[in-house]
Structure 1
Amino acid sequence: MNDLRRRIHGVITGAAVGDALGGATEGYTPEQIQERHGGRVTGIVPPWAAEEWATARPIAPYHKGDGHITDDTLMTRALIDTYAARPRHLDAYAVAEEFVPRLINEPTWIPELEREAILLQRIFLAEKWIVARLHYGHVDPREAGVGNIVNCGAAMYMAPVGVVNAGDPRGAYAEAIDLAAPHQSSYGREAAGVFAAAVAASLAPGADAAGVVEACLDVAHDGTRSAIEAVVKAAGSVPADDPDVLATALRAAVEPYDTVGADYRQPAADARRPSRTKSIEELPVAIGFVVAHDGDFSAAVLGAVNYGRDSDSIATMAGAVCGGLGGADVVPADWLTTVETNSRMDVRASADRLADVAERVLAADRERLLARAGQIDGLLGTA
């Protein structure tokens, strides 16, 4: 396995493992998490409601925990399959023509439901929007995301966009902004672009956590940029070896930009509305954990898991970036094996499939850029 493939494996397996670990603590506070688990979570844990997981929260009857991946990984895999079917750069129309049919036509094992179903029956309300708008509403894919709640729904599965644009954060940002158009608007769409840029930066030769931040700030706008700046500053101002202090500092830094509010289960009245001054919470906090732990996979992911709130998406993003920086070997093998076994999903096969696409797209990009360089020489008379 060459270095690029090894690091692509790190992105995809790292995201899936982060997702599975974070799912068990999603929606709770750090204090509740420590009380429930007798201290900080240090690995794969059972569901919060034990045997009552199917009825504890009727709006979300999901078996989170026990190494089960969530909709973050299911959507990521659907996007990988879309790239495999169309091994080139994608746009909003590919979402309508290739991605949405996968959500409504292809039964698959859903770990959190413990049965086979179509993805539409697992994805949450903000993601069902894509199907309603594109398949039933026939809305222009480039505009369909307008009106949806603004959250991390599009950002959480954009890692594959960063992979096919490896080493090109600006290209990843532009492609993700286009791909996210059917799903999100405002700072939700912006976060999708910036997360893809972060993954692309993590795959560049010699990449490090500081370079990822630099790439994010190079493309980010408005509240998303401000939130990342604030969280990165906070991450550097407190000791990373005191996880409770770090989590408190990251939350305080992102709070002015987060519309959800202090009680994650009871969003504020103006939560998740479009704004140029706000940001989703998940991406800046994920970047904060990556920076605080200098790209250390386990430390960053467990920081996200114990942070609570939308911990599965935060850990997904942190895991993807750290996996890109360090490669497949930084993802603990026992965690990955348990996640694959208990989720009945071959995550490594998905990584291989995406790596095949990335190599093909990068080769085509090289030929296109060489041809373009020759064309520019002709235009400038320097040939």
Structure 2
Amino acid sequence: MTPTVTPTLEERAAGCLVGAAVGDALGGPVEGWTPEQINERHGGPVRGIVGPFHPDWRTARPIAPYHKGDGHVTDDTLMTHALVRVYEKVRGHLDAYAVAEHLVPDLMGTPRWIPELEAEALPLQRIFLAEKWIVARLHYGHVDPREAGTGNIVNCGAAMYMAPVGLVNAGNPHGAYAEALDLAGAHQSSYGREAAGVFAAAVAAACLPGATAGSVVDTALALAKDGTRAAVEAVRETAQRHRDPEAAIGPLRAAVAPFDQVGPDYRNPSLGARRPSRLHSIEELPIALGMLLVADGRYEPAVLGAVNYGRDCDSIATMAGALAGALAGDSVIPAAWAKRVGEASRLDLYAPAAALAAVAREVHAADLARRRAHEAAFTALTAPDRP
């Protein structure tokens, strides 16, 4: 789907980050369940913001103590906003050292409202073990930031919050890919790190004027390596045969299953789960791209397809929402959803997007100045000798 009016950078940034947060909030209450369990619990597919899967969420296992549902964002959005704050401080391109010098202190030093805990707490107390690894390795272990991701759980931890990298490199997928890989080296290794680079590149590609769901996936395939590329290609082939996201859930799962080490029971991962491999891929990114294709880039069907897919659907919907929002701008996000998620989560969903768009403009100006200086230097180096 190509918008009739080309969205501005600010509109794409809002579409991407608000779209990601809304997808996260819609997917949170059904994360970890199968499509069949979701349909049984909600009397059919999820069509919007719903309550917790378990009414007794305060004590129900394995959910407690998190209030997943009712419009609450999860750690996907908390990490995304944390990365935006790092960009606001650095006001330039980020690398692994920025994670050590800025992201880790933010996670462990500043209390913030945590929607799922319904309390103010350190983000460190909410994030998953894979993200706690950053703090353990960098703050306590004093590991070289460029190598700190080695040995971490290979999941979607880094990829889920890489949308800001794509926005800062809007229109430059190669630059987004390289920056995300550098930054994510402090967090993950293997195909988890690769997915972070490909997702950032996809966001950057979605910001190109005239971009479509197909062109975004083509860019992802052009840059992806090893099992990640193979998984995206397999999902693309399947997605191209479908136009109904809900009907595509089973076929898309079958397409990605050979590359997914978690296995058929999401809550009971197989013995081979999350081990480094050049042959495998995280599930979330290929499925998000697949849903984007099936929905032809449209926000609501892409996100709801991701939500009803189940499994790690909050992260899948986060990525699908970010990409669909970047393609068309924030006008495609249902205003009622965005309003309720912002209010329920006690977050201003639009402020991070506005701040990041301003940073992106500054970064581009600095990039342009460096490029012109390089051109002048290279011209002088290669000028023919004169008498």
Tell me the TM-score normalized by structure 1: 0.97
1: CA distance between counterparts of 2:43 and 2:327?
32
What percentage of residue pairs aligned between the two structures are identical? 64
Aligned partner of residue 112 in structure 1, secondary structure = helix
Q: 1:92 aligns with which of 96, 99, 113?
A: 96
Counterparts of 2:217 and 2:62 in 1: how far apart (Å)?
39
Aligned match for 1:114, one of 111, 114, 118: 118
Q: Which moved more, 1:59-68 or 1:21-30?
A: 59-68
Give the Cα separation in 2 of the matches to 1:97 and 1:117.
21
CA contact (8 A) 2:29 2:68 kept: yes
Question: Equivalences for 1:157-236 in 2 at 5 Å?
Answer: 157-236=161-240
Segments ≥4 residues shifted beyond 3 Å? none
Distance, in Å, in 2 between the alignment partners of 1:106 and 1:317 is 26
Letter in 2 for 1:260: V
SS for the counterpart of 2:261 is coil
Question: CA offset at residue 368 of structure 1?
Answer: 1.6
TM-superposed CA distance for 1:76, in Å, is: 0.3
> Matches of 2:64 and 2:180 in 1, distance apart?
28
Q: CA deviation at 1:367?
A: 1.6
Does the 8 A contact of 2:57 with 2:64 survive in 1?
no
Q: Hey, what's the Cα distance between the residues in 2 that align with 1:131 and 1:26?
A: 25
SS of the residue corresponding to residue 223 of structure 1 reads helix
Report what 2:270 is aligned to: 268
Question: Partners of 1:60 and 1:178 in 2: how far apart?
Answer: 35
Distance in 2, Cα, partners of 1:77 & 1:382 = 51
- Superposed, 1:1-383 pairs within 5 Å as 3-50=8-55, 52-57=56-61, 61-238=65-242, 240-241=243-244, 243-381=245-383
CA distance in 2, matches of 1:363, 1:204: 18
**Cα deviation 1:195-245 (Å, max 9, x = unaligned):** 00000001112211111112111210000000000001100123x22x443
Q: Which region of structure 1 is more displaced relative to structure 2, 369-378 or 333-342? A: 369-378
Distance (whole Å) between structure 1 residues aligned to residue 384 and residue 187 of structure 2: 44
Letter in 2 for 1:174: A
With over 3 angstroms needed to count, the CA separation of the structure-2 counterparts of 1:205 and 1:372, relative to structure 1, is: farther
Q: Give the 3-state SS of the residue equivalent to 1:142 in structure 2.
A: helix
Judged with a 3 Å threshold, the aligned counterparts in structure 2 of structure 1 residues 58 and 27 are, in CA distance, closer, same or farther, namely closer
- 1:378 to partner: Cα distance: 2.7
| Superposed displacement of residue 364, structure 1 | 1.2
Q: Distance in 2 between matches of 1:91 and 1:263?
A: 36
Give, in angstroms, the shift of residue 376 of structure 1. Answer: 2.8
Corresponding letter in the other structure for 2:229:
R
Shift of 1:277: 0.3
Aligned to 2:3: none
Distance of 1:72 and 1:329 partners within structure 2: 22
CA distance in 1, matches of 2:210, 2:375: 25
Corresponding residue SS for 1:347: coil
| Separation of aligned partners in 2, 1:139 and 1:256 | 34
Contact 2:7 2:328 in 1 (8 A): no
* Letter aligned with residue 78 of structure 2: L
Residue identity matched to 1:79: L
Q: 1:59–1:131: structure 2 CA closer, same or farther, 3 Å change rule?
A: farther
Which runs of 5 or more structure 2 residues have no equivalent in the other structure?
Answer: 1-5
Structure 2: distance between partners of 1:278 and 1:298: 29
Change (3 A) 1:377 1:117: same
CA positional deviation for 1:54: 2.0
CA distance in structure 2 between the aligned counterparts of 1:267 and 1:281, rounded to whole angstroms: 13
Indicate the larger mover: 159-168 or 54-63: 54-63
